[in-house]
Structure 1
Amino acid sequence: MVVEATQQYKGLYHVLGGVISPMDGVGPGDLQIESLINRVKDGGVKEIILALSTTMEGDTTNFYLYRKLEKSGVKLSIIARGVSIGDELEYTDEITLGRSIVNRTAFNGTV
Structure 2
Amino acid sequence: NLNGDNIGGAIFEIDKYNKRNNVDTLYINDNAHGQGIGAKVWKAIENHFPETKVWELHTPYFEKRNIHFYINKCNFHITGFYKEMFDVNGVEKEFEFFKFEKVMI
Q: TM-score, normalised by structure 2?
A: 0.39
User: Which one has a bigger Cα radius of gyration?
Assistant: 1
**More RCO (CA 8 Å, sep 6+):** 2
Q: More strand by proportion, 1 or 2? A: 2
Q: TM-score, normalised by structure 1?
A: 0.38
